[in-house]
Amino acid sequence: DSGVTQTPKHLITATGQRVTLRCSPRSGDLSVYWYQQSLDQGLQFLIQYYNGEERAKGNILERFSAQQFPDLHSELNLSSLELGDSALYFCASSERHNEQFFGPGTRLTVL
């Protein structure tokens, strides 16, 4: 158990819908990262937050947005969902430049 929690574990929705994925980092970690992993693919970095502020941005679509709240949990919002958005979404947290600890992921299926 990495100490990073993600909810929900599985999510099935239809095209055009909007969903919110939630992440709670390890206690004390100020950085939260979001990744997308499509089937049999590598990790695509989406975005990083540090203590509530955006710090790095990767290949995140305009339909996607994220935020980190004062209690340090983070949410990833995906809107106008398309079939190609079906993937495993990981959240990770870290303490400064140390290793990232990953949550179990949320598996999103768009039908």
Partner 1 sequence: AQTVTQSQPEMSVQEAETVTLSCTYDTSENNYYLFWYKQPPSRQMILVIRQEAYKQQNATENRFSVNFQKAAKSFSLKISDSQLGDTAMYFCAFMKPPLDSNYQLIWGAGTKLIIKP
Q: What is the contact surface with partner 1 in residues (CB under 8 A)?
A: 2, 30-31, 33, 37, 42-43, 45, 48, 50-51, 55-56, 58, 88, 90, 92, 94, 96-102, 104-105
Least separation in angstroms between residue 16's CB and partner 1 is 27
> Distance between CA atoms of 69 and 60, rounded to whole angstroms?
19
Least separation in angstroms between residue 2's CB and partner 1 is 8
| Strand 106-110 versus strand 10-13 pairing type | parallel
Q: Closer to partner 1 by CB, 90 or 110: give it.
A: 90
The one-letter code for the residue type at 2 is: S
Contact 61, 3 (CB under 8 A): no
Q: Closer to partner 1 by CB, 14 or 28: give it.
A: 28
Least separation in angstroms between residue 87's CB and partner 1 is 11
Q: Closer to partner 1 by CB, 37 or 79: give it.
A: 37
Cβ-based neighbour number of residue 99 at 10 Å: 8
Q: Is 95 helix (H, G, I), strand (E, B) or coil?
A: coil
